[in-house]
Amino acid sequence: KKTILTGIKPTGQIHLGNYIGAIKPALQLAKQKEFSPAYFVADYHGLTKFHQADEFRHLSYGIAATWLALGLVPEETIFYRQSDVPEVFELNWILACFASKGLMNRAHAYKAMVDNNEKMERNADFGVNMGIYTYPILMAADILMLKTEVVPVGKDQIQHVEIARDIAESFNHVYGDAFVLPEYLVQEEVAVLPGLDGRKMSKSYNNTIPLFEEPKKLQKLINKIQTDSLPPEAPKDPESSIIFTLYQQFASTVEVEQMRAQYLSGISWGEAKKELFIVMNRFLEEPRENYKELIASPERLNEILLEGAQKARTISAPFLKEIKEKIGFSV
Protein backbone atom coordinates (compact mmCIF):
# COMPACT_ATOMS: atom_id res chain seq x y z
CA LYS A 1 0.00 0.00 0.00
CA LYS A 2 1.16 3.53 -0.74
CA THR A 3 1.46 5.83 2.26
CA ILE A 4 -0.21 9.21 1.84
CA LEU A 5 0.60 11.83 4.44
CA THR A 6 -0.31 15.41 5.14
CA GLY A 7 -0.16 17.83 8.08
CA ILE A 8 -1.80 21.05 9.17
CA LYS A 9 -0.39 23.68 11.53
CA PRO A 10 -2.49 24.67 14.55
CA THR A 11 -2.01 28.39 13.99
CA GLY A 12 -5.61 29.38 13.35
CA GLN A 13 -9.06 28.03 12.64
CA ILE A 14 -9.27 25.61 9.74
CA HIS A 15 -10.49 27.51 6.71
CA LEU A 16 -11.87 26.63 3.29
CA GLY A 17 -8.38 26.74 1.74
CA ASN A 18 -7.13 24.04 4.13
CA TYR A 19 -10.25 21.99 3.50
CA ILE A 20 -10.26 22.17 -0.27
CA GLY A 21 -6.47 22.13 -0.72
CA ALA A 22 -5.61 19.35 1.71
CA ILE A 23 -8.34 17.75 3.82
CA LYS A 24 -10.92 17.00 1.14
CA PRO A 25 -8.46 15.31 -1.27
CA ALA A 26 -6.79 13.51 1.64
CA LEU A 27 -10.07 12.06 2.85
CA GLN A 28 -11.02 11.02 -0.67
CA LEU A 29 -7.70 9.21 -1.11
CA ALA A 30 -8.10 7.54 2.27
CA LYS A 31 -11.20 5.78 0.96
CA GLN A 32 -9.21 4.08 -1.80
CA LYS A 33 -7.86 0.66 -0.96
CA GLU A 34 -4.39 1.14 -2.40
CA PHE A 35 -3.54 3.90 0.07
CA SER A 36 -2.55 3.88 3.68
CA PRO A 37 -3.27 7.34 5.14
CA ALA A 38 -1.25 9.23 7.78
CA TYR A 39 -2.57 12.64 8.84
CA PHE A 40 -1.16 14.77 11.61
CA VAL A 41 -1.29 18.00 13.59
CA ALA A 42 1.95 19.84 12.76
CA ASP A 43 2.34 21.44 16.18
CA TYR A 44 6.11 21.89 16.06
CA HIS A 45 5.73 23.66 12.74
CA GLY A 46 3.00 25.79 14.30
CA LEU A 47 5.40 26.90 17.01
CA THR A 48 7.42 28.81 14.42
CA LYS A 49 4.53 31.29 14.24
CA PHE A 50 2.44 30.96 17.34
CA HIS A 51 3.41 31.48 20.98
CA GLN A 52 0.20 31.62 22.99
CA ALA A 53 0.04 28.38 24.97
CA ASP A 54 -3.66 28.02 25.82
CA GLU A 55 -4.86 29.07 22.41
CA PHE A 56 -2.29 26.77 20.83
CA ARG A 57 -3.58 23.77 22.77
CA HIS A 58 -7.13 24.60 21.75
CA LEU A 59 -6.19 25.04 18.08
CA SER A 60 -4.36 21.69 18.07
CA TYR A 61 -7.47 19.94 19.31
CA GLY A 62 -9.45 21.97 16.79
CA ILE A 63 -7.49 20.42 13.92
CA ALA A 64 -7.97 16.93 15.29
CA ALA A 65 -11.70 17.55 15.78
CA THR A 66 -12.02 18.93 12.23
CA TRP A 67 -10.61 15.81 10.59
CA LEU A 68 -12.78 13.56 12.72
CA ALA A 69 -15.89 15.68 12.16
CA LEU A 70 -15.38 15.34 8.41
CA GLY A 71 -15.23 11.57 8.58
CA LEU A 72 -11.64 10.51 9.27
CA VAL A 73 -11.69 6.98 10.72
CA PRO A 74 -8.91 6.71 13.35
CA GLU A 75 -8.83 2.91 13.14
CA GLU A 76 -8.00 3.12 9.45
CA THR A 77 -5.56 6.02 9.68
CA ILE A 78 -2.32 6.89 11.40
CA PHE A 79 -3.70 10.04 12.98
CA TYR A 80 -1.30 11.76 15.35
CA ARG A 81 0.33 14.86 16.73
CA GLN A 82 3.81 15.55 15.39
CA SER A 83 5.22 16.25 18.86
CA ASP A 84 4.20 12.77 20.07
CA VAL A 85 6.56 11.05 17.64
CA PRO A 86 10.08 11.88 18.88
CA GLU A 87 11.80 9.91 16.10
CA VAL A 88 10.78 12.69 13.73
CA PHE A 89 13.12 15.07 15.56
CA GLU A 90 16.04 12.73 15.58
CA LEU A 91 15.55 12.33 11.87
CA ASN A 92 15.21 16.11 11.55
CA TRP A 93 18.78 16.54 12.76
CA ILE A 94 20.13 13.77 10.57
CA LEU A 95 18.44 15.32 7.54
CA ALA A 96 19.73 18.77 8.46
CA CYS A 97 23.20 17.40 7.83
CA PHE A 98 22.16 16.55 4.28
CA ALA A 99 20.36 19.80 3.49
CA SER A 100 22.47 22.55 2.01
CA LYS A 101 22.07 26.03 3.41
CA GLY A 102 21.51 27.32 -0.14
CA LEU A 103 18.48 25.07 -0.44
CA MET A 104 16.96 26.63 2.68
CA ASN A 105 17.74 30.15 1.44
CA ARG A 106 15.60 29.47 -1.59
CA ALA A 107 12.51 28.32 0.33
CA HIS A 108 9.56 30.61 -0.55
CA ALA A 109 8.00 30.66 2.90
CA TYR A 110 11.22 31.85 4.49
CA LYS A 111 11.91 34.36 1.71
CA ALA A 112 8.40 35.79 2.00
CA MET A 113 8.86 36.20 5.73
CA VAL A 114 12.18 38.02 5.27
CA ASP A 115 10.65 40.30 2.61
CA ASN A 116 7.76 41.06 4.87
CA ASN A 117 10.08 41.85 7.71
CA GLU A 118 12.12 44.21 5.59
CA LYS A 119 9.04 46.00 4.32
CA MET A 120 7.78 46.60 7.80
CA GLU A 121 11.33 47.18 9.02
CA ARG A 122 10.47 45.23 12.10
CA ASN A 123 7.77 42.59 11.86
CA ALA A 124 4.95 43.74 14.07
CA ASP A 125 3.84 40.20 14.83
CA PHE A 126 6.79 37.96 14.56
CA GLY A 127 10.43 37.94 13.54
CA VAL A 128 12.21 35.36 11.43
CA ASN A 129 13.32 32.65 13.82
CA MET A 130 15.48 29.61 13.06
CA GLY A 131 12.37 27.43 13.13
CA ILE A 132 11.08 29.26 10.06
CA TYR A 133 14.43 28.88 8.37
CA THR A 134 14.76 25.14 8.93
CA TYR A 135 11.02 24.50 8.53
CA PRO A 136 11.46 22.49 5.29
CA ILE A 137 13.87 20.07 6.99
CA LEU A 138 11.36 19.20 9.70
CA MET A 139 8.75 18.81 7.00
CA ALA A 140 11.09 16.44 5.15
CA ALA A 141 11.44 14.45 8.38
CA ASP A 142 7.62 14.18 8.68
CA ILE A 143 7.36 12.91 5.13
CA LEU A 144 10.39 10.60 4.99
CA MET A 145 9.91 9.11 8.47
CA LEU A 146 6.73 7.31 7.45
CA LYS A 147 8.01 6.33 3.97
CA THR A 148 5.43 8.56 2.32
CA GLU A 149 4.82 8.22 -1.40
CA VAL A 150 2.11 10.83 -1.93
CA VAL A 151 1.61 14.17 -0.16
CA PRO A 152 -1.75 15.87 -0.85
CA VAL A 153 -1.26 19.62 -0.32
CA GLY A 154 -2.13 23.05 -1.63
CA LYS A 155 0.15 24.70 -4.18
CA ASP A 156 2.04 26.72 -1.57
CA GLN A 157 3.54 23.49 -0.21
CA ILE A 158 4.85 22.07 -3.51
CA GLN A 159 8.31 23.50 -3.00
CA HIS A 160 8.52 21.97 0.47
CA VAL A 161 7.74 18.52 -0.90
CA GLU A 162 10.38 19.04 -3.59
CA ILE A 163 12.89 19.98 -0.91
CA ALA A 164 12.03 16.79 0.99
CA ARG A 165 12.74 14.87 -2.19
CA ASP A 166 16.05 16.68 -2.71
CA ILE A 167 17.17 15.92 0.82
CA ALA A 168 16.16 12.27 0.47
CA GLU A 169 18.13 12.05 -2.77
CA SER A 170 21.23 13.55 -1.16
CA PHE A 171 21.04 10.95 1.59
CA ASN A 172 20.31 8.06 -0.78
CA HIS A 173 23.20 9.13 -2.96
CA VAL A 174 25.60 8.46 -0.11
CA TYR A 175 24.02 5.47 1.62
CA GLY A 176 21.93 3.71 -1.02
CA ASP A 177 18.16 3.64 -1.26
CA ALA A 178 17.20 4.46 2.30
CA PHE A 179 14.34 6.88 1.76
CA VAL A 180 11.26 6.64 -0.43
CA LEU A 181 11.05 9.66 -2.74
CA PRO A 182 7.74 11.47 -2.14
CA GLU A 183 5.52 13.15 -4.69
CA TYR A 184 3.08 15.98 -4.12
CA LEU A 185 -0.52 15.82 -5.22
CA VAL A 186 -2.25 19.12 -5.93
CA GLN A 187 -5.89 19.61 -6.95
CA GLU A 188 -5.36 21.62 -10.09
CA GLU A 189 -8.72 23.47 -10.12
CA VAL A 190 -8.15 24.86 -6.65
CA ALA A 191 -4.37 24.81 -6.28
CA VAL A 192 -4.67 28.17 -4.54
CA LEU A 193 -8.05 29.10 -3.17
CA PRO A 194 -8.36 32.90 -2.99
CA GLY A 195 -9.65 34.54 0.17
CA LEU A 196 -12.19 37.34 0.68
CA ASP A 197 -9.83 39.96 -0.75
CA GLY A 198 -8.68 37.93 -3.77
CA ARG A 199 -5.24 37.11 -2.33
CA LYS A 200 -4.48 33.51 -1.33
CA MET A 201 -6.79 32.48 1.51
CA SER A 202 -4.45 32.40 4.47
CA LYS A 203 -4.43 32.69 8.24
CA SER A 204 -1.67 35.28 7.84
CA TYR A 205 -3.79 37.57 5.64
CA ASN A 206 -6.88 37.52 7.79
CA ASN A 207 -9.00 36.88 4.72
CA THR A 208 -10.28 33.40 5.51
CA ILE A 209 -13.67 31.76 5.68
CA PRO A 210 -13.47 29.37 8.63
CA LEU A 211 -14.86 25.97 7.70
CA PHE A 212 -17.18 25.59 10.67
CA GLU A 213 -18.40 29.17 10.90
CA GLU A 214 -22.00 29.50 12.15
CA PRO A 215 -24.53 29.78 9.28
CA LYS A 216 -25.29 33.48 9.74
CA LYS A 217 -21.63 34.43 9.85
CA LEU A 218 -20.86 32.11 6.98
CA GLN A 219 -23.45 33.88 4.88
CA LYS A 220 -21.99 37.27 5.83
CA LEU A 221 -18.49 36.15 4.89
CA ILE A 222 -19.67 34.78 1.56
CA ASN A 223 -21.30 38.13 0.88
CA LYS A 224 -17.94 39.81 1.49
CA ILE A 225 -16.13 37.89 -1.26
CA GLN A 226 -14.92 40.45 -3.78
CA THR A 227 -16.52 40.33 -7.23
CA ASP A 228 -16.29 42.45 -10.37
CA SER A 229 -18.84 45.18 -11.04
CA LEU A 230 -20.65 43.58 -13.98
CA PRO A 231 -24.39 44.38 -13.91
CA PRO A 232 -26.67 41.60 -12.60
CA GLU A 233 -27.96 40.51 -15.99
CA ALA A 234 -24.52 40.36 -17.68
CA PRO A 235 -23.09 36.91 -18.51
CA LYS A 236 -20.37 35.88 -16.03
CA ASP A 237 -17.33 33.66 -16.60
CA PRO A 238 -17.74 30.72 -14.24
CA GLU A 239 -14.12 29.59 -14.60
CA SER A 240 -12.67 32.82 -13.25
CA SER A 241 -15.06 33.15 -10.34
CA ILE A 242 -14.11 31.99 -6.85
CA ILE A 243 -17.82 31.79 -6.07
CA PHE A 244 -18.27 29.23 -8.81
CA THR A 245 -15.10 27.38 -7.78
CA LEU A 246 -16.46 27.03 -4.27
CA TYR A 247 -19.87 26.03 -5.59
CA GLN A 248 -18.24 23.19 -7.53
CA GLN A 249 -16.68 21.87 -4.34
CA PHE A 250 -19.97 21.47 -2.54
CA ALA A 251 -22.66 20.89 -5.20
CA SER A 252 -23.61 17.80 -7.21
CA THR A 253 -22.53 17.45 -10.85
CA VAL A 254 -26.03 18.23 -12.06
CA GLU A 255 -26.22 21.34 -9.89
CA VAL A 256 -22.83 22.50 -11.14
CA GLU A 257 -23.92 22.22 -14.78
CA GLN A 258 -27.15 24.09 -14.10
CA MET A 259 -25.22 26.81 -12.27
CA ARG A 260 -22.70 27.09 -15.11
CA ALA A 261 -25.58 27.72 -17.52
CA GLN A 262 -26.98 30.38 -15.18
CA TYR A 263 -23.61 32.14 -15.06
CA LEU A 264 -23.40 32.17 -18.84
CA SER A 265 -26.88 33.51 -19.29
CA GLY A 266 -26.43 36.10 -16.53
CA ILE A 267 -26.86 35.74 -12.78
CA SER A 268 -26.37 38.50 -10.22
CA TRP A 269 -23.48 38.04 -7.81
CA GLY A 270 -25.95 38.34 -4.96
CA GLU A 271 -27.93 35.40 -6.30
CA ALA A 272 -24.77 33.38 -7.02
CA LYS A 273 -23.63 33.94 -3.43
CA LYS A 274 -26.98 32.88 -2.06
CA GLU A 275 -26.85 29.64 -4.04
CA LEU A 276 -23.30 29.03 -2.83
CA PHE A 277 -24.34 29.47 0.77
CA ILE A 278 -27.15 26.97 0.34
CA VAL A 279 -24.95 24.15 -0.97
CA MET A 280 -22.14 24.89 1.47
CA ASN A 281 -24.38 24.95 4.45
CA ARG A 282 -26.15 21.79 3.35
CA PHE A 283 -22.82 19.96 3.35
CA LEU A 284 -21.39 21.58 6.48
CA GLU A 285 -24.38 21.27 8.80
CA GLU A 286 -23.58 17.79 10.02
CA PRO A 287 -19.78 18.10 10.33
CA ARG A 288 -20.28 21.42 12.16
CA GLU A 289 -22.41 19.66 14.79
CA ASN A 290 -19.92 16.77 15.00
CA TYR A 291 -17.15 19.28 15.48
CA LYS A 292 -18.90 20.97 18.40
CA GLU A 293 -19.31 17.65 20.17
CA LEU A 294 -15.75 16.56 19.55
CA ILE A 295 -14.09 19.79 20.61
CA ALA A 296 -16.01 19.61 23.89
CA SER A 297 -14.05 16.49 24.90
CA PRO A 298 -10.34 17.19 24.56
CA GLU A 299 -9.49 14.15 26.71
CA ARG A 300 -11.04 11.88 24.11
CA LEU A 301 -9.21 13.70 21.31
CA ASN A 302 -5.98 13.37 23.23
CA GLU A 303 -6.49 9.62 23.58
CA ILE A 304 -7.13 9.21 19.86
CA LEU A 305 -4.01 11.20 19.00
CA LEU A 306 -1.84 9.28 21.44
CA GLU A 307 -3.04 5.97 20.02
CA GLY A 308 -2.21 7.28 16.56
CA ALA A 309 1.29 8.27 17.68
CA GLN A 310 1.84 4.71 18.93
CA LYS A 311 0.93 3.44 15.48
CA ALA A 312 3.28 5.93 13.82
CA ARG A 313 6.08 4.81 16.13
CA THR A 314 5.74 1.17 15.09
CA ILE A 315 7.07 2.44 11.76
CA SER A 316 9.34 5.29 12.84
CA ALA A 317 11.26 3.56 15.66
CA PRO A 318 12.61 0.58 13.65
CA PHE A 319 13.14 2.75 10.57
CA LEU A 320 15.16 5.32 12.50
CA LYS A 321 17.30 2.49 13.81
CA GLU A 322 18.03 1.38 10.26
CA ILE A 323 18.96 4.93 9.30
CA LYS A 324 21.28 5.27 12.30
CA GLU A 325 23.01 2.05 11.36
CA LYS A 326 23.50 3.31 7.84
CA ILE A 327 25.20 6.50 9.01
CA GLY A 328 27.58 4.55 11.21
CA PHE A 329 26.02 4.88 14.64
CA SER A 330 25.95 1.81 16.84
CA VAL A 331 22.40 1.01 17.85
DSSP letter at 40 equals: E
Does residue 77 bind ligand TYM (CB under 6 A)?
no
* Strands of the chain, DSSP E: 2-8, 35-41, 78-81, 150-152, 183-185
Regarding 139 and contact with ligand TYM (CB under 6 A), the answer is yes
- Cα separation of 54 and 73, whole Å? 27
- Residue 47 touches ligand TYM, criterion: CB under 6 A: no
Confirm or reject binding of residue 163 to ligand TYM (CB under 6 A).
no
Using rule CB under 6 A, residue 18 touches ligand TYM: yes
151 touches ligand TYM (CB under 6 A)? yes
Q: Which residues contact 73 (CB under 8 A, 6 or more apart)?
A: 30
CB 163 within 8 A of CB 107: yes
Q: Which stretch binds ligand TYM (CB under 6 A): 29-37, 72-80, 200-208, 296-304?
A: 200-208
Closer residue to ligand TYM, CB minimum distance, 150 or 301:
150
- Region binding ligand TYM by CB under 6 A among candidate stretches 47-55, 197-205, 229-237, 272-280: 197-205
The total number of residues written for the chain in this structure: 331
Name the percent of the chain in helix, strand, coil, to the closest 5.
60, 10, 30
Stretch that binds ligand TYM, among 193-201, 218-226, 260-268, 285-293 (CB under 6 A): 193-201
263/265 Cα distance (integer angstroms): 6
204 labelled binding-site residue: yes
22 binds ligand TYM (CB under 6 A): yes
- Contact indicator for 16, 201 with CB cutoff of 8 Å: yes
Residues marked as binding for ATP?
9-11, 17-18, 154-156, 193, 200-204
Binding site for ligand TYM (CB under 6 A): 5-9, 17-18, 21-22, 42, 45, 139, 142-143, 151, 153-154, 156-157, 160, 192-193, 200-202
